[in-house]
């Protein structure tokens, strides 16, 4: 705390209670019975000064505490009207109600304590203009100077006009305040409402009470003896709300201990939820920085693009030393509780580092998985291209050659030459046939053209064992269809080689975002996916698409090979 602030703190600490005593005891010193509002007056001013001092002590850079303390002191100055002294009356009369102007300033500037927008600065300045009106009212009062030392200009008509201006101005100021507070409440998120809620509600009540008070005074007049309590209660609620918010903020920090215990007890992936609970921000996000570079990922290792900070969201970076470990994206309102964020950040440091390592590992797994899927897709694409090249290139040339040989043979009359040409045609036909089988093995064209169901029927038609094909659903993504095709082809090959089956069945369907491709037989069973490379290779291919291959093959019960591949 700077020496200047320390001096101001001391003055307020001494002057505040002195004003309270001086002002409120003025009634007794002058033999006047305490007013009905005395307990509330005393409570409001004392509480406002005390809570203002506490807030100012905790957050000296924020003007909220200072303004609250000043409002409390002005309240007591207004009270010295009761002291039987013309100067005390004049001063008290001038300052009567001025505490409301400071309270309005405080609430409009809340929570930063600063009036950010120009329009708000104009509004508050205009509000302080009502103090000048109050002073002019005091000067123009129709009272002798022995009662009011400031009554230098007896002008009852002007006094009445000034009273009306004061009342109407106060009413308008209060109404504008209601609109500002209401708008701020509506625009606030959960966390902001939680932080600002008590003060904003008290402010709303205060503004409503003042507005209604002005209307009542306009109707029935401000006769002595008529006391409208709601504004007094509302003024009392404002410091109470500030203290409540302060106490809750302290309690929130106590929760940090529970947070550490919770993180110790729970596994990885719970950091975000725990922080959201501790900081009362359901929309909170945690991004973990990867070791290599400036990229962030979420707890699942998914890349996370941090949002741009705006009026609603802010980012707090948490680190160790110079190293940034994570970024917490939270509601901007939490910046009003920097000590809470600091406490939480410090408490979760180790767990955060641990969580970050988990997230990094998951990210690496995802990168690996994506890389594997990419490899499979690339390989499939290369196979399709190769098959197409064979079909369009060598195969077409051989076919053209066959047509030419066929026509040539029809022209040759020499029997020996015709025989040689016939042999050449036969060799060529064999070459074309082998090339066709090779191309089909590289990639079945029917899969690309007609889809998995048609390709499965073709495989079934070539099988030596009767195969029933049941299809329920449309086409799947190309990578899924290709994997499914190889599952069916390998499973049917196994049926023919090992199963000694009487029949087999292919079922293709979609359920819950999964492509289910199943080949079952009524053979001897006993297949082991760990033996040989056929089923293991298929499991790898299916796994590359985030799917899984299930082989059920108890001895004597047949074999079922089922691929479950995400296709949504």
Position 407 contacts another protein (CB under 8 A): yes
**Interaction of residue 404 with another protein, rule CB under 8 A:** yes
Place of tokens 């002057």: 15
- Pick the closer one to another protein by CB: 386 or 446: 446
CB under 8 Å to 241, separation ≥6 — which residues? 198, 199, 201, 202, 203
Alpha carbon separation from 31 to 34, 77, 226 (Å, rounded): 9, 19, 21
Q: Select from 34, 169, 402, 534 the one that contacts another protein (CB under 8 A).
A: 402
450 binds another protein (CB under 8 A): yes
The CB-of-385 to another protein minimum distance in angstroms stands at 15
Contact 201, 110 (CB under 8 A): no
Contacts (Cβ under 8 Å, ≥6 apart) of 340: 249, 252, 253, 256, 279, 334
Q: Does residue 396 bind another protein (CB under 8 A)?
A: yes
Q: How far apart are CA 421 and CA 468, in angstroms?
A: 44
- Is residue 126 close enough to count as binding another protein by CB under 8 A? no
- CB of 446 vs another protein, minimal distance in Å: 5
Backbone angles phi, psi at 109, to 5 degrees: -85, -10
* DSSP class per residue in 488-515: HHHHHHHIIIII--S-EEEEEEEETTEE
Q: Would you give the binding string for another protein spanning residues 376-395, x where CB under 8 A is met? A: ---------------xx--x
Closest distance to another protein from the beta carbon of 429 (Å): 6
- Examine residue 406 and tell whether it contacts another protein (CB under 8 A): yes
Q: Which of 8, 135, 454, 536 binds another protein (CB under 8 A)?
A: 454
Q: How many binding residues for another protein (CB under 8 A)?
A: 31
DSSP 369-391: HHHHHHHHHHHHHHHHHHHHHHI
Instruction: List 563's β-bridge partners, or say none.
Output: 517, 549
461 binds another protein (CB under 8 A): yes
Nearest CB to another protein, comparing residues 236 and 492: 492
Dist. CA 174–CA 118, nearest whole Å: 19
Residues 430-449 that bind another protein (CB under 8 A): 432-433, 436, 439-440, 444-446, 449
Closer to another protein by Cβ: residue 277 or 457:
457
Q: Which lies closer to another protein via its Cβ, residue 360 or residue 458?
A: 458
Cβ closer to another protein: 463 or 529? 463
User: Residue 182 in 3-state DSSP?
Assistant: helix
Query: Which C-beta is closer to another protein: that of 37 or that of 458?
Result: 458
Chain residues that interact with another protein, rule: CB under 8 A: 391-392, 395-400, 402-404, 406-407, 410, 428-429, 432-433, 436, 439-440, 444-446, 449-450, 454, 457-458, 461-462
């Amino acid at each position: 705390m700077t020496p200047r602030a320390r001096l101001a703190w001391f003055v307020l600490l001494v002057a505040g209670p002195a004003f309270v005593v001086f002002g409120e005891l003025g009634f007794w010193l002058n033999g006047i019975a305490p007013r009905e509002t005395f307990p509330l007056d005393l409570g409001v001013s004392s509480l406002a000064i005390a809570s203002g001092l506490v807030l100012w002590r905790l957050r000296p850079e924020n003007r909220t505490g200072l303004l609250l303390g000043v409002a409390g002191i002005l309240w007591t100055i207004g009270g010295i009207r009761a002291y039987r002294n013309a100067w005390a009356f004049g001063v008290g009369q001038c300052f009567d109600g001025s505490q409301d102007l400071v309270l309005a300033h405080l609430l409009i500037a809340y929570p930063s304590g600063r009036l950010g927008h120009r329009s708000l600065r104009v509004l508050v300045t205009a509000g302080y203009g009502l103090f000048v009106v109050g002073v002019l009212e005091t000067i123009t009062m129709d009272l002798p100077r022995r009662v009011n030392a400031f009554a230098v200009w007896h002008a009852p008509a002007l006094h009445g006009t000034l009273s009306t201006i004061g009342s109407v101005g106060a009413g308008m100021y209060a109404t504008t305040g209601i609109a500002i507070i209401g708008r701020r409440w509506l625009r606030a998120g959960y966390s902001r409402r939680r932080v600002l809620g008590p003060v904003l509600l008290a402010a709303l009540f205060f503004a409503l009470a003042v507005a209604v008070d002005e209307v009542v005074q306009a109707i029935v007049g401000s006769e002595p003896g008529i006391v409208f309590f709601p504004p007094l209660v509302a003024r009392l609620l404002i410091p109470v709300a500030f203290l409540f918010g302060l106490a809750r903020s302290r309690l929130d920090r106590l929760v940090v201990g529970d947070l550490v215990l919770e993180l110790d007890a729970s596994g990885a992936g719970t950091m975000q939820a725990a922080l959201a609970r501790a900081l009362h921000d359901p929309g909170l996000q945690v991004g973990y920085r990867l070791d290599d570079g400036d990229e962030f990922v979420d707890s699942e290792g998914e890349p996370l693009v941090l949002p741009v900070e705006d009026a609603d969201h802010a980012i707090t970076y948490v680190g160790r030393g110079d190293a940034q470990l994570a970024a917490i994206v939270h509601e901007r309102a939490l910046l009003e509780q920097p000590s809470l964020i600091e406490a939480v950040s410090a408490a979760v440091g180790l767990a955060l580092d641990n969580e970050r390592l988990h997230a990094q590992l998951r990210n690496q797994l995802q990168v690996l998985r994506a890389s594997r899927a990419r490899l499979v897709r690339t390989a499939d694409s290369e196979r399709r291209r190769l098959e197409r090249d064979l079909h369009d290139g060598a195969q077409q040339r051989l076919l053209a050659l066959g047509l030419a040989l066929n026509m040539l043979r029809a022209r040759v009359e020499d029997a020996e030459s015709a025989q040689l040409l016939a042999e050449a045609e036969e060799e060529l036909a064999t070459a074309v046939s082998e090339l066709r089988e090779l191309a089909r093995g590289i990639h079945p064209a029917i899969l690309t053209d007609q889809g998995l169901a048609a390709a499965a029927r073709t495989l079934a038609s070539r099988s030596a064992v009767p195969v029933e094909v049941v299809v329920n659903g449309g086409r799947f993504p190309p990578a899924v269809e290709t994997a499914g095709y190889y599952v069916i082809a390998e499973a049917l090959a196994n049926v023919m080689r090992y199963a000694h089956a009487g029949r087999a069945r292919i079922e293709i369907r979609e359920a819950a975002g999964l492509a289910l491709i199943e080949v079952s037989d009524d053979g001897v069973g006993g297949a082991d996916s760990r033996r040989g490379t056929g089923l293991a290779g298929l499991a790898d291919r299916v796994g590359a698409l985030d799917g899984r291959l299930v082989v059920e093959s108890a001895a004597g019960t047949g074999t079922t090979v089922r691929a479950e591949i995400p296709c949504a």
